[in-house]
Amino acid sequence: MRFRLFISGLVQGVGFRAFTQRLAQSYGLSGWVRNLPDGRVEALVEGDEEVIAHFLKELWKGPRLSRVDKIEMIREEPDEPLHGFDIRY
């Protein structure tokens, strides 16, 4: 399964991308995460649907200084497999 996530709240300048990367790697998920100019964080995550559900539950908590207000999820059809989980700039 592949999902594009748009995370809103206090998610920039608080280590949210690094947190997301570590969390995704700990679950064995592939994809990437990046900041958006509008203050949100975007992530593309690929893996088992049940594993992604657990990942999302933890993502809502975020790092200590963050606050997640909303996570928008869009399911996508994978065009080619993703490898690793990167922070994009």
CATH of the domain at 24: 3.30.70.100
- Quick check: is 20 in a domain? yes
State residue 9's pLDDT score.
98
- Quick check: is 54 in a domain? yes
Chunked mean pLDDT (size 10), the chain, 89 residues = 98 98 98 98 97 98 97 95 95
State residue 81's pLDDT score.
86
Q: Which domain holds residue 53?
A: 2-78
> Taking a C-beta distance cutoff of 8 angstroms, is the pair 21, 30 a contact?
no
- Quick check: is 24 in a domain? yes
Closest CA to 16 of 53, 55, 78, 59: 59
- Quick check: is 74 in a domain? yes
- Quick check: is 83 in a domain? no
Q: Is 57 exposed, middle or buried (0-12, 13-18, 19+ CB in 10 A)?
A: exposed
- Distance of alpha carbon 75 from the chain centroid: 13
- Quick check: is 87 in a domain? no
Give catalytic residues, as residue numbers.
17, 35
Number of domains composing the chain: 1
- Quick check: is 89 in a domain? no
